[in-house]
Chains A and B, each alone.
Chain A
Amino acid sequence: MYAFEYHRPTSVKEAAGLAGQAEDTKFLAGGHTLLPTMKLRLAGPANLIDLGQIAELRGIERSGDTITIRAMMKHAEVANSPEVKEAIPALAEMAELIGDPHVRNRGTIGGSVANNDPSADYPAACLALNATIITNQRKIAADDFFQGIFTTALEEGEIITQVSFPIPSQAAYIKFRNPASRYALVGVFVAKHSDGVRVAVTGAGSNGVFRVPEMEQALSGNFAPEALDGVAVAEDEMNSDMHADAAYRAHLVGVMARRAVQAAATRG
């Protein structure tokens, strides 16, 4: 790991101020992507701003038909939150599927969303649940936030403070894991909202997380697995690598989507 200056602010304002003053900064959340990347010397920020001591980035609140999770909440905390389990059980279950227990004790929602790894789970949840990503500067709809592999709408020095999820009537997330890395080879999050169904896919797309309008349309008419008969995603937009080729991934999107609809409908 290359040497860096370490900063430990205690407020979002102080963190943003540090990012404004210092050159070549990175924010450190749970560190479970950034630190391995730094160990491999693929990243070598001159300044590391640790968000771990900022109390205002901690907490989960339900307000009416919305669950708001602050950015430094860890995956294990989301998975075990009574509020999340009651309001959006699919989101708690998704958090429980990330990495392993130790990773879930460190990794955070803010870090995962900001990183937008093409195989990460949270981006699919945010897109399907029509979440709003709230930063220290503005509110960004999930549809506008995720802009391709490891790319988001975040500006330099902008800090995610919370993610707000409208509570759907039914939802489920089904993930086909790479047996070695445990990342999603294909993960499909399906959510039924009062104004229609949203389907988001992670792990499969060559340009990162994406929605499937054809599936959404079919499911908005009939929220049942058989509504997806004959609906397929295009192979040429799928990722292809040693773990799974594009045709296999495209096929898995359909299978995982059906299972997710089944799980969501069964939950009632």
Chain B
Amino acid sequence: MTTVSLTVNGQSVTADVDPRTLLVQFLRENLRLTGTHVGCDTSQCGACVVHLNGQAVKSCTTLAVQANASVVTTIEGISQGGDLHPMQAAFREHHGLQCGYCTPGMIMSAIDIVNRKGNAVDEQTIRAELEGNLCRCTGYHNIVKAVAAGAQAMAQAPLQQAAE
């Protein structure tokens, strides 16, 4: 067993884990944060995307022990009190989901896209930047619309951005 200490959604967490534990397993099974999904389990689909030190990564291809001393944000950590994060609200408003399985990864990627590309990110850039997230319902059209709207909304929500 190896000790891992990290911050998850603002809370300090320390645990002894089998070193082969994936970050996504640690989040889902140890911490019961089951919003982060396992889709393909081969780093293709992006259902498992979380933020590691502020950057979007695939938690199915990261060991929990590699996240030692890091800050992790999952889909559970982006809302403020009872208020959805602007990107979550945009996905709801624009029906950016069908079955919902890819949605947590899509939203975590979308926030990362806005952090890197800005609030005025255009459709072409959104489509290119979402290449690591697959929607098997093929609902990309509304996802792209939701990301663009969420990006704009994030500009109007400085407090929530700061919390991210």
A residues adjacent to B (C-beta < 8 A): 1-6, 8, 28, 31-32, 35-36, 38-39, 48, 50, 52, 76, 99-103, 105-106, 182
B61 touches A3 (CB 8 A): no
B30 interface residue, CB < 8 Å from A? Answer: no
Q: A4-B19, A31-B66 are in contact. Are A103 and B58 (CB under 8 A)?
A: yes
Which of B5-13, B41-49, B72-80, B145-153 is near enough to bind chain A?
B41-49
Q: How many Cβ-Cβ contacts under 8 Å join chain A to chain B?
A: 69
Q: Which residues of B contact A4 (CB under 8 A)?
A: 19-20
* 8 CB < 8 A contacts A-B: A3-B18, A31-B61, A32-B61, A39-B41, A76-B55, A99-B132, A103-B132, A105-B55
**Chain B 52-86 interface 0/1 with A at a Cβ cutoff of 8 Å (1 = within):** 10011110011101101000000000000000000
Most buried by A among B43, B52, B55: B43
B36 interface residue, CB < 8 Å from A? Answer: no
CA distance A3 to B17 in the complex (A): 12
Closest residue on chain A to residue B105 by CB atoms: A102
CA distance A3 to B65 in the complex (A): 14
B109 touches A106 (CB 8 A): no
B residues adjacent to A (C-beta < 8 A): 2, 18-20, 41-43, 46, 49, 52, 55-58, 61-63, 65-66, 68, 109, 112-113, 116, 129, 131-132
Q: Which residues of B contact A32 (CB under 8 A)?
A: 43, 61
The answer, among B42, B46, B58, for a CB contact under 8 Å with A106, is B58
Q: Which residues of A contact B113 (CB under 8 A)?
A: 101
Q: A36-B43, A106-B62 are in contact. Are A3 and B109 (CB under 8 A)?
A: no
Closest residue on chain B to residue A34 by CB atoms: B61
| Inter-chain pairs besides A28-B66, A32-B61, A35-B63, 14 sampled, C-beta below 8 Å | A4-B19, A5-B19, A6-B65, A8-B65, A36-B43, A50-B65, A101-B113, A102-B46, A102-B49, A102-B57, A103-B58, A105-B55, A106-B57, A106-B62
A100 touches B19 (CB 8 A): no
B56 touches A35 (CB 8 A): no
A106 touches B61 (CB 8 A): yes
